[in-house]
Copies of this chain bind each other. A is one copy, B any other.
Amino acid sequence: MGSLPLDASSRRPLNPEAFAGESRSVVDFLAEYYRDVGKYPVRAADLEPGLLRKLLPDAAPELGEPLEDVLEDVRRDILPGLTHWQSPSFFAYFPMNASAAGFAGEMLSAGLNVVPFVWAASPAAAELEGVVMDWMGRLLGLPQRLLFSGGGGGVLQGSTCEAVVCTLAAARDRALARLGHAAIMKLVVYASDQTHVTFQKGARLVGIPPSNFRVVPTSAASGYGLAADAVRAAVDRDVARGLVPLYLCATVGTTGLGAVDPVRELGEEARRHGMWLHVDAAYAGSAAICPEFQGYLDGAELADSVSMNPHKWFLTNSDCCCLWVASPRALTSALSTDPEYLKNVGTDGTGNPAAIDYKDWQISLSRRFRAIKLWVVLRRYGAVGLRAHIRRHVAAAKWFERTVAADERFEVVAPRKFSLVCFRLRASFAGDADDVNRELLAAVNASGRAFMTHFVVDGKFVIRLAVGGAMTEMQHVMDVWELLQDKAEEVLQRYRLEALNLQFRGS
């Protein structure tokens, strides 16, 4: 940048030389960030709410400012207030991993800045999406009927929630076409107590009465998976009351514990009642590119739709959610619009299935060229590289699980299936186990050396270690285990002292 005066830069905002110069400055800034990211506190622990607002002016500047100044402000004001999702010691929530290839794809998407909402608006972009969705589906071992090549098809959306809203609307409109709109009061959606809250939000968004959302309990006995007979019991109760079973969600890799619902059994249950079955594999779907994990998707041929998020654990920068459907028509019946200003001038209008108008496959009209991002990731790393990436994290999580289990102070709360380990300090050591674990987690996060989040299952406070950062190596997992032990000793020591004090005062 720099070389063009400010006025000229807003006058010619895509001047190629200025563009290249400024963009290289940002690349260097980000390379430096990746070099240093391990040094930042992983979670911005000490930021006082409202602090940034105090640092920044009340209004946008009147005159443009040099990029260097902007980047300096990012360094000084923004970075210290971020929680660093790309830190190798970020183990919270689920990963949102970035990569050089994901970034390259994102740059191409943002730089070309085309809008493949109708086919004619950028044919190659729409077609690449179809190709990439079939590639991904094959890598995951999805049944042919969910791929374009088998009569189904796929679309890239921004998030699971968008995908869920679209499939709920499709299921709803399929039912209401038969029953009349007033029957919306009778439609029932089924999920487990481990299902992501997105389904509850989505069902409410599409107008299903909140009281018609069934949360079926799970238990340790089924590994916190949703038992088909529990669904059947709930459905039978509803049918007896004159309600209409609409939609069932099966999760492969739940958010809390990484649990897996039995897709085939739930699919058979859904078929029995004409329900839409959605398989949510947002996080664990990435693992299904490895044959050893594909078994968890067994039964997917009974699904009406399947979704997974390459932006979680698949080296694809945010955002990117794959949604496959068995019946594109069911989706587009609920979502299509055909205003005059979007009629495909220049195409034959015969509805060639290769000329997809993706606006009819999603909530929004406009959309980004996400396909090129996922395509670059797949091309750059290849199936072999991506499988190795998944297996490295699974191996690290396995090591962590084994190590925690071998330490008598700790317990593993739910069996690990992928790269998420749920564990806690045992109750017997000191004080209330939930308090102890809450303090342990707070101490670890306050150290800035790692960031983990928690879950509550069967009333127990559980610590989650989700391995999946692009820079996370075995060493970082070993380091966090050291950190956990140190902090556990501190917390336990404090509880022991308190207990002694109480004893002393009591004596």
Contact = CB atoms under 8 A, between A and B. Distances in A.
Given A10-B389, A14-B34, A32-B16, A197 B115 contact: no
Given A23-B30, A445-B345, A113 B381 contact: no
A215 B102 CA distance: 43
A401 interface: no
A345 to B, nearest CB: 6
A318 B113 contact: yes
Nearest to A173: B204
Given A33-B111, A138-B59, A124 B78 contact: yes
Interface string A447-470: 000000111100000001000001
Interface string A158-179: 1111100100010010000000
A6 B385 CA distance: 8
A134 interface: yes
Contacts of A201: 335, 337, 363, 365
A162 to B, nearest CB: 6
Contacts of A67: 101, 104, 380
A55 to B, nearest CB: 9
A345 B441 contact: yes
A339 B197 contact: yes
Contacts of A354: 49-50, 53
Contacts of A65: 379-380, 382
Interface string A55-99: 010111111110101100110011111111110000011001111
B20 A27 contact: yes
Most chain B beta carbons < 10 A, residue from A35, A80, A453: A453
Contact of A363 (B28, B31, B127, B165): B165
A408 interface: no
Interface in A101-149: 101-104, 106-108, 110-115, 119-125, 127-128, 130-131, 134-136, 138-139, 149
A131 B455 contact: no
Interface residues of A, number: 177
Nearest to A309: B366
Given A52-B128, A382-B62, A103 B111 contact: yes
A506 interface: no
Given A64-B381, A345-B445, A363 B52 contact: no
Count of this chain's copies in the oligomeric assembly: 2
Contacts of A208: 207
Contacts of A379: 60-61, 64-65, 69-70, 73
Contacts of A207: 172, 184, 206-208
A27 to B, nearest CB: 4
Given A12-B471, A60-B138, A74-B372, 4 more contacts: A10-B389, A103-B110, A205-B205, A205-B363
A315 interface: yes
Contacts of A130: 53
Contacts of A388: 7, 10-11
A96 B339 contact: no
Contacts of A160: 364-366
Contact of A96 (B352, B366, B378): B366
A202 B426 CA distance: 50
